[in-house]
Amino acid sequence: MSEVYSTLNEISRRFDKDDLVLLAKHPDLCFTINSYELFSHHVFNRVKRQNPDKEIKQEEKCIVIQSEESAESLHLYPTWKTIEKRADLEAREEINHAIDLLASCECKHIYLLFPRSENFRKHVLIRSEKLDDLGIEYTLKLVPYTIY
């Protein structure tokens, strides 16, 4: 269990709403929540629960889903970045990193997960000339992920 999740659990048990308001207004106290880590933890737990027949591992930056019947794995990269208008432009840095990973043949299938927003509701398949020229079989998608 992640340290952030444990801390939030503990805070919710020990403090009520009035205590949190007091903490938030106190000038000498600061409390930070790592949104990326919480989002990654949420995605990992949900994927694990929805895929009991598959091996799910959480690595440093990604979640790896390995099926028994296939040697290929799916790499999920949760990213705590809100897509406002155009996913392919706003996620350019993440896409370029994924293309580099695919080109190095570290993996064949990558899904970049972003929190679902008003303008980002559907999967976006990404094609890369660089990878197509190399003749690599790959899957690269931007995926809106619902948090509930």
Q: Is the dihedral of CA 108, 113, 118, 121 positive or negative?
A: positive
Sheet with strand 55-58: strands edge to edge: 55-58, 63-66, 73-78, 109-115, 139-145, 124-125
User: Worst-scoring range by mean pLDDT, 34-48, 82-96, 119-133?
Assistant: 34-48
Q: Rounded CA gap, 29 and 24, in Å?
A: 7
CATH 3.40.1350 is the classification of domain 35-145: yes
Instruction: Report the distance separating Cα 87 and Cα 72, nearest Å.
Output: 26
**Cα distance between residue 121 and residue 144, in whole Å:** 6
Residue 30 tokens, joined: 């600061």
Contact 46, 58 (CB under 8 A): no
CB 78 within 8 A of CB 89: no
Q: Where are the domains of the chain?
A: 1-33, 35-145
Q: What pLDDT score does 93 carry? A: 94
pLDDT in tens, 17-55: 666 666 666 666 665 667 788 888 888 989 999 988 899
pTM of this structure: 0.75
